[in-house]
Structure 1
Amino acid sequence: MDSFPFKIRAAPCINKFLLCLFPVSLLYLFLSHHSLPPPHDPPSLSLSSSSPLSLDNVVFSIASSSSSLSSRIPFISLWYNPNTTRAFLFLDRIPPNQNPPNPPSLPPILVFGDTSAFPYTFKGGLKSAIRVARIVKEIVGLNLENVKWFVFGDDDTVFFKENLVRVLGKYDWERWYYVGSNSENYEQNVEYSFDMAFGGGGFAISYGLGLALARVFDDCLMRYGHLYGSDARVFSCLAELGVGLTHEPGFHQVDMRGNLFGMLSAHPLSLLVSLHHVGSIDPIFPNKNRTEALRHLFEAVDVDSARILQQSVCYDHSNLLTISIAWGFAIEVYEGNLLLPDLLPLWRTFMPWRRNRYVDPHYMFNVREYSKDPCERPALFFLESVISHNYGVWSNYTRHGVGNCQRSNIMQNLELVKVFSPKLELDIVELKAPRRQCCDVSSSAFEPMVIGIRPCGAHELISMQHSSPAAV
């Protein structure tokens, strides 16, 4: 008894049998509770928990509809490969004019189960939210082999699969994990929850948690008819299981419209996992349509997926230039020396998802205003090509929108930036404790700027040139 953090004092007996036995009963309940097994049966797992996670261990469940599918096929085909990707496409019904009914370029199509018995009372909402939520039960019910993670997303969500595997590999799939991220829009999180994974950005549920959730999901759905969306229902049922969200900033709900340049050019220090609403944003590269622009981004993804959008900042001290690289996407070149923290906030080039000109949007990150005057902006260079070699990767970026701005000679003549980088190989420690990489610049007034990206030294700072204080 001395090992307990408290002592149970017996109540005085006053010829009341139950009162005298109460402390003993309390102790019995305490000891019984702490000796019971966990409240869920351990899943029968045949896979080795020590084996590294592979793409074959991940099953994607994509929610779509017969009316939207035709316009979303180009986005699904960007990341889905029938030879390497385990995925299923859930529809309300097979599109009547689709021939063949399940083309090989799409994941196998499944029709949602009947959800007519479940309540839905959210005024103005869509009852389809119930059947989309119930995918989590239906996919587990397929009893697929060799599964460690279930991943859920929409038909206008683009996944970066190799990065997803790297991110999920940080976590023990035999434990109960719910991995994803919330909305970029503050008001959206206030309305729903800061601790809910928004379904468009995608979220992942570990195998053991998927089994447990599937067992209780139908019963749980009966209590949440008043909620709007499918992701809110999944979040609520997981909360009842006692599981909270593990935040991973690489999942992007993209509750924004318009030009995503500001978001993509200053990506957080984490791997890019997903982009939602890709059918509602402007093309991310100039002079291309949406699909062409995303395919162009995947040319870099296919060469070095871990490095895509990773921001490196370097200084050309001889020409007083500051360069910010979003690898595989764009480069910004500034005249003068800018402090690194001043380059981390996102340019506000986008608009909020909800169109309301009377409400000033608030975001879950710091923003800086993007001047309407192009001469007050940095010079922009967008990805032109990526070439992989045994010794590393060359990526080339060409200038966009030169204009008639008054700039220094080197800035006026700069048309091409060439970047060399070793392929980014990250171990589990680096994934858990990421560090921005450094870069070196070689430039002249008559040649392309050449930049080399490399790991920073142990005590190296990413900083402008300055005078060191005198030694004390």
Structure 2
Amino acid sequence: MSTPYHGIPLRALLLAVPLISIFIVFHLLYRPAPLPSTFRTYADGAASHRAEELSCPPLSSNLPPPAPKPEETLEPTSLRHVVFGIASSRRTLPLRLPLLRLWLRAPARAFLFLDAPAPAPDARDLPPGLALRVSADASRFPYTHPRGLSSAVRVARIAGELVSGLKQGEGEDVRWLVLADDDTAFVLPNLLHTLRRYDHREHWYLGARSESAAQNAWHAFAMAYGGGGIAVSWPLARRLARVVDSCVLRYPHLYGSDARIYACLAELGVELTHEPGFHQIDLHGDISGLLRAHPLSPLVSLHHLDHVYPLYPGMDRARAMRHFFRAADADPARILQQTVCYDRKESLTVSVSWGYSVQVFKGNVLLPDLLAVQKTFVPWKRGRNVTDVYMFNTKHYPRDECKRGALFFLKGITSREGKTETTYNRQPPRKCPPDLIPLKSLRLIKVTSERLQLAPGKALRRHCCDIVPSSSDANIDINVRKCRDDELIAMHS
């Protein structure tokens, strides 16, 4: 039997060739166009990129890589980025101008809002950058708190009036709005250091509570008290300005302007970020115990200075504040910073509150006891039902002067070659017999330190100090320095 033939018949092959040719021509003429690049999938792009890498090697292997896309760099916040809204009145303006001249300086801008037009002061009396404004009539807004002042409504509206009152272009470089009273004093370099720690493009509400636990319980623990200063980032300030009037209408029962601002910011979804350098000073009397135990955070503000004793004994308030700002201007970051050192040989403990005061104790006083605030003051509210409780650790201050440490206050300050030398004179006790005066031969303390530099993002650490050996019992020389890595601030370590 012959093998069957399985090949393609010649006739069928001749008929298929024309058909195949027609199909190829049709496909070439009418094939769809490639997808636009915006619609190409990641896989298509990746495959194309790999093909290019395989088929198109670089012309030269020595070409540098493409430069990275530059990131936006912001100029550090400076005084020209800060606008102050200061609450004042026709009556208090002449009394507050000396204090304002001590701390306010250009290029910071400040708008001081009065309750009524005041006689035009001499331009030489106004600090640079300060402009006077008269608040708009706020009588249409209700106020129902039984013990407060209706002026709180006017003051609460300052943020809105300030923001809306800026001329076109005046607010372009503003980053922060700082609200305060006319009896608030700021240490501007420390305020700037605090503000630089935050992104001004976000919503920030900065400030501090009252020192008095009772005041916080009566008003709010989550509120920045206005006398200590309220810092609001500019985007948040603009939103606050647009809605503050509606908030004022909803909260007629609140006591102060700061409570209304807090309520409005809470409705905007923003809560307080506590900054311990702001000080409301809801205290009376002698606040030296508070100032001698200031936290590591740099001093930003002081308030209610007319309600406390002059900061330095033997001076009136105006002279004492000038004396204080001489030290604050010489080394703002170090003002009131507490440094403690020990003399093991003589068994002495020395606590320095730089630019303000020095205390010298016999024996070994442990550091935590020195960090507690001595209760030299009395509560803001007085009466039988007032609690003597504060927002910090406190320590009893002996009524018997003979049981206190030797006390010194700033006498003078000199700066040279990057170092600052401060001297402190003895404040003799008034009611202690001479034979019971502690360390009665000691008369003068001299403290040498380098200017303290603060950098945003760096942790704060207390400095250490050394007592320089001396042949005299009348004076002590102290050198302030950075602590070594494992150094302990203790007499016996």
TM range (shorter): 0.7 to 0.9
CA shift, 1:445, in A, is: 5.0
1:421 match? 449
Q: Which runs of 5+ in 1 are unaligned?
A: 1-47, 467-472
Check conservation: 2:468, 2:477, Cα contact below 8 A.
yes
Partner Cα separation in structure 1 for residue 476 and residue 457 of structure 2: 33
Partner Cα separation in structure 1 for residue 467 and residue 159 of structure 2: 49
1:104 aligns with 2:132: no
1:160 aligns with 2:182: no
Alignment match of 2:76 (pick from 52, 62, 69): 52
Change (3 A) 1:426 1:370: same
Letter in 1 for 2:218: E
Check conservation: 2:210, 2:282, Cα contact below 8 A.
yes
1:459 aligns with 2:482: no
2:311 match? 284
Letter in 1 for 2:410: L
Counting only pairs closer than 5 Å after superposition, residues 230-241 of structure 1 correspond to structure 2 as: 230-241=257-268
Partner Cα separation in structure 2 for residue 440 and residue 100 of structure 1: 50
Partner Cα separation in structure 1 for residue 344 and residue 77 of structure 2: 43
Partner Cα separation in structure 1 for residue 422 and residue 123 of structure 2: 40
Change (3 A) 1:99 1:248: closer
Check conservation: 2:101, 2:126, Cα contact below 8 A.
no
Counting only pairs closer than 5 Å after superposition, residues 223-372 of structure 1 correspond to structure 2 as: 223-372=250-399
Letter in 2 for 1:313: V
Alignment match of 1:89 (pick from 112, 115, 123): 112
Partner Cα separation in structure 2 for residue 100 and residue 299 of structure 1: 25
1:202 aligns with 2:202: no
Alignment match of 1:213 (pick from 240, 244, 249): 240
SS in 1 for 2:153: helix
Letter in 2 for 1:166: H
Larger Rg: 2
Counting only pairs closer than 5 Å after superposition, residues 418-457 of structure 1 correspond to structure 2 as: 418-430=446-458, 433-446=459-472, 448-457=475-484
1:126 match? 149
Partner Cα separation in structure 2 for residue 224 and residue 201 of structure 1: 22
Letter in 1 for 2:456: I
Alignment match of 1:379 (pick from 402, 406, 411): 406
Partner Cα separation in structure 1 for residue 361 and residue 101 of structure 2: 37
Partner Cα separation in structure 1 for residue 215 and residue 255 of structure 2: 12
Partner Cα separation in structure 2 for residue 302 and residue 290 of structure 1: 18
CA shift, 1:221, in A, is: 1.7
SS in 2 for 1:356: coil
Check conservation: 2:470, 2:477, Cα contact below 8 A.
no
1:406 aligns with 2:448: no
CA shift, 1:294, in A, is: 1.1
CA shift, 1:103, in A, is: 4.2
SS in 2 for 1:279: helix
Letter in 2 for 1:87: A
CA shift, 1:457, in A, is: 1.1
Check conservation: 1:102, 1:109, Cα contact below 8 A.
no
Cα distance per residue 1:224-269 (max 9 Å; x no partner) = 1111110000000000000000000010000001001100011011
- When normalised by structure 2's length, the TM-score is 0.81
Change (3 A) 1:186 1:296: same
Partner Cα separation in structure 1 for residue 125 and residue 477 of structure 2: 45
- When normalised by structure 1's length, the TM-score is 0.84
Check conservation: 1:49, 1:172, Cα contact below 8 A.
no
CA shift, 1:73, in A, is: 2.0
Partner Cα separation in structure 2 for residue 445 and residue 160 of structure 1: 38
Partner Cα separation in structure 2 for residue 68 and residue 362 of structure 1: 31
Cα distance per residue 1:279-336 (max 9 Å; x no partner) = 1110111110011111101110110000000000110111110000000000000000
Partner Cα separation in structure 2 for residue 118 and residue 243 of structure 1: 24
Letter in 2 for 1:380: L
1:69 aligns with 2:99: no
1:3 match? none
CA shift, 1:418, in A, is: 0.7
Cα distance per residue 1:46-66 (max 9 Å; x no partner) = xx7621111111111110111
2:33 match? none
Partner Cα separation in structure 1 for residue 420 and residue 123 of structure 2: 41
Change (3 A) 1:195 1:213: same
Partner Cα separation in structure 2 for residue 215 and residue 102 of structure 1: 35
Check conservation: 1:392, 1:420, Cα contact below 8 A.
yes
Check conservation: 1:161, 1:273, Cα contact below 8 A.
yes
CA shift, 1:116, in A, is: 2.1
1:41 match? none
Q: Which runs of 5+ in 2 are unaligned?
A: 1-71
Partner Cα separation in structure 1 for residue 395 and residue 147 of structure 2: 36
Number of aligned residues? 413
SS in 2 for 1:318: coil
Partner Cα separation in structure 1 for residue 412 and residue 369 of structure 2: 29
Partner Cα separation in structure 2 for residue 68 and residue 356 of structure 1: 28
Partner Cα separation in structure 2 for residue 173 and residue 420 of structure 1: 37
1:137 match? 160
Partner Cα separation in structure 2 for residue 152 and residue 405 of structure 1: 52
Partner Cα separation in structure 2 for residue 59 and residue 297 of structure 1: 24
Change (3 A) 1:232 1:216: same
2:176 match? 149
CA shift, 1:339, in A, is: 0.9
Check conservation: 1:179, 1:246, Cα contact below 8 A.
yes
Partner Cα separation in structure 1 for residue 388 and residue 381 of structure 2: 9
Letter in 2 for 1:79: W
CA shift, 1:142, in A, is: 2.9
CA shift, 1:444, in A, is: 3.1
SS in 2 for 1:120: coil
Alignment match of 1:391 (pick from 409, 418, 421): 418
> Alignment identity in percent?
47
Partner Cα separation in structure 2 for residue 405 and residue 456 of structure 1: 38
**Deviates further, 273-282 or 113-122:** 113-122
Cα distance per residue 1:154-185 (max 9 Å; x no partner) = 01111111110001110000000000001000
CA shift, 1:105, in A, is: 3.6
Cα distance per residue 1:169-218 (max 9 Å; x no partner) = 10000000000001000011111111100001111000111111111112
